[in-house]
Amino acid sequence: MALDSNRAKMPYLNKCSLIKQGAEARVYRGIFLGKPTIIKERFPKLYRHAVLDEKLTHRRTVQEVRSILRCRKAGISTPVVYFVDYTSHCIFLEDLVGSITVRDHIASSQESGQDPVCLSSLAEEMGKILAKMHDEDVVHGDLTTSNMLLRQGSEDAKPDLVLIDFGLSFTSALPEDKGVDLYVLEKAFLSTHPNTEQLFQRLLKSYTHASKKAPAVIKKLDEVRLRGRKRSMVG
C-alpha cells in the first residue's frame, strides 16, 4: 500500500529498475534529463504515526542532501545531486557508471596477489578523505568499504575515491561521534577483509596526519574500542 502510494506521487519510478531495498529506502536505476541516474526513495513506515513519519522522513532526506553538498563543497568526491523531490522523498543522484566498490577492489587485489603497496596507497587516500569529511563536521554514520567507490578517470590518472550513501549521516563537531564513525569502519573493514590490520593502521595514520582535530578523535576511537571489548567479554 505504501509502495502504491509513493508510486502514485512519483509515477517516474515505474520506468526505473529497482536495484536494492533496505529498511529505510529503495534504490532505483534510471535515466533523468538524459543522464544515467540513481534514485533513492525513502518510503513511508506504516508502524509510525503518519505525521511523525512524514517529519522524520523529510528531516532525513534534507540531512542526507546537506551532507553530500557539504562534502562536495569541501572538495570530497560524492555523486552529483541532480534533483530532490520532497513530496515523494526521492533524491536523484549521479550514477557512477563503471565504478567499483572499494570492497570489491580490495578482495580482487588480495585474490590476485597484487602488490600490497597499491592497497597501502588506497588506505592513505581513504584516511585523507575521511579526515577532510570529519573536519567539515560531517559524520557519515555507515562507513564501510561498500560505501566507497573507485571511479576511473583518464588513463594516466589514479582512480577517484567517491563516498556514497549518506542516509545515516549527520552534522556533529563532537570527537565522540567521529570516533564512533571510525570504529564502525574498522569493524566493517576487518570483518570484510581478513588480515588487513596493517592496512587499516595505515588509514588511521594518514587520517592523523591530515587532520588537526585527529588527536581528540583517535582518543575517542580508543575509548570506543575499549567499550566494545568490554561488551564482548560480558556477552
Summarised one tens digit per residue, pLDDT across range 148-165 is 999 987 666 688 999 999
Residues forming beta bridges with residue 26, ordered by sequence position: 21, 41
Query: Residue 235: what pLDDT?
Result: 47
Residue 169: its H or E element: none
CATH topology classification for 99-228:
Transferase(Phosphotransferase); domain 1 (1.10.510)
**The two domains 13-94 and 99-228 share their CATH topology (first three levels equal):** no
Average pLDDT over residues 17-41: 93
Helix orientation angle between 197-210 and 175-192, rounded to the nearest 10 degrees: 150
91 within 8 A of 174, measured Cβ to Cβ = no
Q: Where are the domains of the chain?
A: 13-94, 99-228
Average pLDDT over residues 60-83: 97
Catalytic machinery residues: 142
Query: Residue 172: what pLDDT?
Result: 97
User: Is 3.30.70.141 the CATH classification of the domain at 13-94?
Assistant: no
The long-range contacts involving 2-10, CB below 8 angstroms and separated by at least 24 positions, are 2/43, 2/44, 2/46, 3/43, 5/44, 6/41, 6/43, 6/44, 6/88, 6/89, 9/87, 9/88, 10/41, 10/85, 10/87, 10/88, 10/90
Higher pLDDT residue, 7 or 234? Answer: 7
Query: Please, which residues have CB within 8 angstroms of residue 80's CB and are 6 or more apart in sequence?
Result: 72, 93, 94
pLDDT in tens, 163-216: 999 999 999 999 999 999 999 999 999 999 988 999 999 999 999 999 999 999
pLDDT beyond 90 at 5: no
